[in-house]
Amino acid sequence: MGVVGWGERKAQSTGNHNHNKPQPHVPLVLQMVLCPIDYRYGREEMKRIWSREGRLQAMLDVEAALAEAHAGVGNIPREAAEEIKRKATLEHVSPEEVDALEREIRHDIMAMVKVLASRCEGDAAKYVHLGATSNDIIDTANALLIKKSLKIIKKGLVDLAVVLGKRAEEHRHTVMLGRTHGQPGLPITFGLKMTVFAAEILRHIERLEEAEKRLCAGKMMGAVGTGAGFGEKAFEIQSMVMEKLGLIPEEAPTQVVGRDRYAELYSLMALIAASLEKMATEVRNLQRPEIGEVAEAFDVEKQVGSSTMAHKKNPITSENICGLARVVRSAVTPGYENMILWHERDLTNSSSERILLPHVFVLTDDIIHKATSVFRDLVVFPEKMMENIEKTRGTIMGERVMLALVDKGMGRQEAHEIVRRAAMEATESGKHMMDVLLTSEEVRKLMSEQELAGLFDPSTYLGATQEIIDSVLDKIKKLQPQ
């Protein structure tokens, strides 16, 4: 990821030496930016973590922690560690200088090490990167970035759960169709639908908290994971580094941290993305005019739905969530393949991880916040929900009628067949199912018209809906600071 921008220079002279006339600024350089994350998708907070500068500073932080650990066990002078720590900042080690040196020596970590060492005064330079291999720095820096990123992801999920909880409370009594196979099933409430979504997000928060202890692992055990380059105090050095950085150590490393950890990370982000796509797909479906029960917020004064169909009000944010979620899930396959390295490691994982890690985090964070916005501002149409219920001509209350007949002594299978035939006739004739049932001698023997009519109020056939909503809302409340 980079920054797109035009350089500027003064226009060249054409023989007219009017120095008092303002000179136009014309483009000097256009940095070619390929990835839409640079200019279209993602929030700055997350992009800053995975930027070139963010990644370099994380590696410098690891180098500083390593020097402090060496000083802590008496391997190097305390003054040298303090000098390395002072110089391990972007103020002294710039990405541009590191990149320039890498182009010469073709090794990014050694380029960083050489630039850092060149900034250190006294004897400190000779202790930079002492005993370490490249992936001690890379993997531990990645763990730092992952830890920061997971904190942002968790906050986003909590915010989304809170928004969904508020909509659940607001619409706990808003009756609508529950649909199966895309067809009318039984009545539910829109609050229950929001509760289902909120419960799924709560599970993701739980998964994240449980997985964090495995995902934020670094290593400081040298070239093939034996720690030989650190001498007798290798374990002590690794423990001190990880403690300073707030990470856990890889208990049995090779040259790298086990890539099963990264595969788990991608899987977790893919799960979150799949849930968000599921939720956004529901919004898209319910916004279809033939259903028309909800709609994304739309600025009727300025927002444009189509370049030619001026009447359009499209669920563009929900569609955006769906598209980006698919990109997040695409990281799972290369993430699993990166677990399969030759012997103690090869380099086949490196290039893809430079793409996967920032993209997965930036896009997951992006769609979480977009989903939060969608549901916070979602327009709900209760009257349309009731209209769609009425269009079923009472057939969605068939289960209730069947069970009521069973309570009156009719066999379950007989009751099912009576209700089934009545529903088919109501659908084909356009009659209300209650009117059809009233023509059944078997039904009239067991139930009065008044009793039958009482079975067709959808708001009184919602089962444990309110208890389900309350149970999930109680969990959401525990996420919020008191």
Residues annotated catalytic, as ranges:
181, 306
20 contacts 37 by C-beta, under 8 angstroms: no
Q: Where are the beta strands (DSSP E) in 215-353?
A: 217-218, 248-249, 294-295
Burial annotation 197-225 (CB, 10 A radius, 16+ → b, else e): bbbbbbebbebbeebbeebbbbbbbbbbb
CA dist 69 and 91 (Å) reads 23
359 contacts 325 by C-beta, under 8 angstroms: no
CA dist 155 and 165 (Å) reads 15
Which of helix, strand or coil describes residue 227?
Answer: coil
First to last CA, the chain: 39
Amino acid identity of 267? S
Any residues with CB less than 8 A from the CB of 180 and at least 6 apart, and which? none
CA dist 273 and 281 (Å) reads 12
Amino acid identity of 472? V
Q: Whose CA is closest to 244, among 150, 151, 132, 144?
A: 144
How many CB atoms are closer than 10 A to CB 196? 18
- Provide the 8-state DSSP code for 91: T
In the chain, helix, strand, coil percent, each to 5? 65, 5, 30
CA dist 473 and 171 (Å) reads 13
